[in-house]
Amino acid sequence: MSTSVDIGAVPSARGGMLAGLKMASTSRTPDTLGLTSQGQDTEPGLDIKTRVLNYYNSLESRLGYKLVLGGTRHFGYWERDTYWPFPINRALRLMEEKLFERLALPPGGRVLDSGSGDGIVALEMHRMGKYEVTGIDLVPRHLSHSWKRVAKAERGGNIEKGKVKFKYADFHHLLDEVQSGSFDGVYAIETMAHAADVPLVLSNFYQALKPGGRLCIVDYEHIPAPEDMSDNEKLLKKAYDEVIDLGAMPANWSNEEGTIEQWIADVGFENVRVVDYSPNIVPMLRLFFCLAIIPYFIIRFLGIEKYFVNTTAGVWGYRGRKYWRFKVWSAQKPGGPPTENGQSHE
């Protein structure tokens, strides 16, 4: 069900495509998000940090992620479409397995989890790869949950003490908190959407990696709207743009189709590969839509969408799915043995 696209070496586009990105929006502009015309905060991470904190600290987010996803904050993976997506937990673990496969590191390496949430993915990555994982996050409540989770795992003898740890850090200023060249791998699962400056964050990841280190990004890609949209398409696009705004995801303005892999190559990575998992998350998208559609009508009538971002996203993320893709980008910093299709070649 997934579509793998090997784009190989990508020529630099600095001053060309990257400098000339257009924001395809019918209802919001970068200025309304507190961003510059290039989709970047005037001081990267400043205004968006407040928006991200507000989003994750909202009552709806706290309850929704806990009750529906058990504290996880990413999509699940289904091998084939189904109208019965249960058990969800298995699909969540399968997506983490896909992340592990695409990161393609030998056991025991040092790995950075950028945007580690409640620490669930970091612990799973440690379990699968025996990695020493450092998770970073902006949200104090997430870090508190992570510290409790890892302490419980250590007490239970499930992990060796000190092998999984978490700290406060902003990936826009990553090198203020971690040493250059200190990690064998870096991954970010559904956190790059919150970046005010994607090339800057990718550059930080590059510098944090050792020579030969691996990168894996799991996130969303924006499909530009056609100029000759119907009235119904304009409505869908407007609602999709509202989700980007309310969900504090400014990167979705700049992450047009093909740009992320270009940025990855531009900062110096090689062996860049892209896998499209959009079909594999449809069961969860459909579930969110079914859970959200009735409450959404009430929320929309009262005009309080900004207080119920996930409910709004549940409806319009599904209905407007033609305007975005869910993909995995993997790459390698020069200086180590090449990798291909998730397998290391010594």
Determine what percent of the chain is predicted with pLDDT higher than 90.
70
Q: How far is CA 205 from CA 61, 92, 154, 201, 325, in A?
A: 28, 25, 28, 6, 23
Summarize pLDDT for 214-225 with one digit per residue, the tens.
Answer: 999 999 998 887
Phi-psi region of 337 (alpha: psi -120 to 50; beta: other; left: phi over 0): beta
| More confident position, 32 or 239 | 239
Give the pLDDT score at 40: 40
Is residue 161 pLDDT above 90, yes or no? yes
Summarize pLDDT for 56-115 with one digit per residue, the tens.
Answer: 999 999 999 999 999 999 999 999 999 999 999 999 999 999 999 999 999 999 999 999
Phi-psi region of 267 (alpha: psi -120 to 50; beta: other; left: phi over 0): alpha
Computed over its alpha carbons, how large is the radius of gyration of the chain? 19
Give mean pLDDT, residues 122-135.
98
Identify the band that residue 10 occupies on the pLDDT scale cut at 50, 70 and 90: low
Q: How far apart are CA 276 and CA 267, in angstroms?
A: 22
Give the pLDDT score at 249: 92
What domains can be seen in the chain, in order of their start residue? 29-340 (3.40.50.150)
Q: How far apart are CA 183 and CA 135, in angstroms?
A: 12
Q: What is the pTM of this model?
A: 0.85
Q: Is the sign of the CA dihedral 313, 316, 321, 323 positive or negative?
A: negative
Is residue 342 pLDDT above 50, yes or no? no
Q: How far is CA 199 from the centre of its chain?
A: 14
Is residue 167 pLDDT above 70, yes or no? yes
Q: Is the sign of the CA dihedral 323, 214, 116, 50 positive or negative?
A: negative
Residue 236: both structure tokens together: 């869908």
Give mean pLDDT, residues 250-274.
94
User: Which helix (H) or strand (E) element contains residue 125?
Assistant: helix 120-129
Summarize pLDDT for 176-228 with one digit per residue, the tens.
Answer: 999 999 999 999 999 999 999 999 999 999 999 999 999 999 999 988 877 88
Give the pLDDT score at 338: 61
Summarize pLDDT for 293-312 with one digit per residue, the tens.
Answer: 999 999 999 999 889 999 99
Other beta carbons less than 10 A from residue 63's beta carbon: 11
Instruction: Tell me which of 1-10, 144-153, 278-287 is least confident.
Output: 1-10
